[in-house]
Amino acid sequence: MESMMPNMNLPKAKLEQGFTLVELMISMAIGLTVMAAMASMFNTAMTSTILVTQRTETQQNLRAGLDLMVKDLSLAGAGLPSGGIQLPTGAGSSLSKFGCDQSGACHVVSFNYIGNYMYGLLPGYSNGVEAGASIPAAPAPAINDSVTSIYCDYNFPLFEYLITFVGATGGQITLAPNPIYTTAPPAINANGGVQVGDLIMLSNSAGTAVGEVTNITSTSISFGNLDPLNINQSGAASNNIAAISGGANTVAYRLYAVTYYLTVPGAGQTPRLMRQVNGLTPVPVADDIINLQVAYDVYNTTTSALDANQANPIAAGESPNNIQKINLVVMGESILNSGGNKSQSMYLATDVAARNMAFRNSYN
């Protein structure tokens, strides 16, 4: 007897695909490795960005300072009598100053003229940090120099005035526009004109002298004694304004005595490069400057050879009048500093020909 069984098609069980624990751990390890690599690449990119930013900012600061220095140093001696100007000498005289302002503060350590003589260029070896402050970031040996350039300012036309001395002591002059100039010069106390603390060079048939302005009106300039730069000295025996007050055909020019040095401000601020003119208030020209070094190529009148790269020509017995070239090295440090290992330092170097100085050109 044949049995009848129903034909039942049962569904087959499906096997679910998945990760084993080992596969999961391997996948996580690979993922973490990729993420670590990406994090490392991101950190490297950020570090590179910070580095480029720091170097760019530092280079901009350096260039800003160097551009001004090159301009001033290239004019050293322009318009001065050959070899410079003797400041007050003899009985009743004392040393005059540079690098000082109207408050009486002197911003370089050594601020007296050598032999009370105004050269077109004044080297300041190891004299370049105000009050002798320390700059730990400066490379060893930590030598910072100052440098002073002195030249005539031809932009403001004092030479277009007729000069008359008031009295015999040289304490005051009056100025009237010279009628030979069809366009009258601006008032002497106009914007950009003469101000208290400026240096005025007066030349006539009796010689040349320099005075510091102590008072000014629209028609007169006073050179009172006890001026902050100690230049006027009406009681000195010679080489003051009183000594030339009887001369004829007096011509006046404003001088610029420009001193560059470093200062370390308070409140944790970084060092900066300063520019101080005549007896005026100094102004910063570049931040984060940690080192300023100046050397000179000097013509040696004894050997008739060039003494190149002299760091301290005065101590070596060289005359500032024989300086032919100024070699500058300025170093800056970026303001960002994380733990002392992310700040960036760099330097720029250049040289400037002192083309207006009175010297024998041994380059020919």
Q: pLDDT tens across 234-278, in order?
A: 999 999 999 999 999 999 999 999 999 999 988 778 899 999 999
Which of the 8 DSSP states describes residue 85?
A: E
Instruction: Report the C-alpha gap between 19 and 68 in whole angstroms.
Output: 71
276 token code pair: 């101080």
Q: What is the DSSP letter of 100?
A: B
Average the pLDDT over each of 39-48, 127-136, 278-287 and give the range with the smallest value: 39-48
More confident residue, 237 or 49: 237
pLDDT surpassing 80 at residue 58: no
The band of 138, judged by pLDDT with boundaries at 50, 70 and 90, is confident
pLDDT for res 52 = 60
Does 173 score more than 90 pLDDT? yes
**What distance in Å separates the CA atoms of residue 130 and residue 210, rounded to the nearest whole number?**
26
Number of H helices, E strands in the chain: 1, 17
N- to C-terminal Cα distance for the chain? 136
pTM of the model as a whole: 0.84
Range from 13-17, 78-82, 127-131 carrying the lowest mean pLDDT:
13-17
67 vs 337: CA distance, rounded Å: 27
| Confidence at residue 105, expressed as pLDDT on a 0 to 100 scale | 96
pLDDT score at 361: 45
The partner residues of 310 in beta bridges, in order of sequence, read: 296
Q: How crowded is the C-beta side of 101, counted as CA atoms within 13 Å?
A: 11
Average pLDDT over residues 99-115: 95
Mean of pLDDT values over 272-300: 94
| CA-angle at 86, arms to 196 and 259, nearest 5° | 50
What is the C-alpha separation between 116 and 251, in angstroms, rounded? 23
Main-chain dihedrals φ then ψ at residue 131, nearest 5 degrees:
60, 20
pLDDT class for 117, splitting at 50, 70, 90? very high
pLDDT at 363: 45
Report the share of the chain in percent with pLDDT over 70: 86
Residue with tokens 């030249």: 151
Rounded Cα–Cα distance for residues 326 and 308 (Å): 10
The model's confidence at residue 1, banded by pLDDT at 50, 70 and 90, is very low
- Tell me what pLDDT residue 128 has: 94
What is the pLDDT confidence band of residue 216, given thresholds at 50, 70 and 90?
A: very high
Res 10: pLDDT = 57
Mean pLDDT computed over 131-145: 87
**Continuous segment of H or E residues that includes residue 121:** strand 121-124
**pLDDT at residue 27, rounded to an integer:** 79
Question: Residues 6 or more apart from 221 whose CB is under 8 A from it?
Answer: 172, 173, 175, 188, 194, 200, 213, 215
Query: What residues have CB less than 8 Å from 303, skipping those under 6 apart?
Result: none
Question: What is the mean predicted confidence (pLDDT) over 214-226?
Answer: 96
Residue 364 above 50 pLDDT? no
Could you tell me the pLDDT band of residue 45, with boundaries at 50, 70 and 90?
low
pLDDT of 340: 47
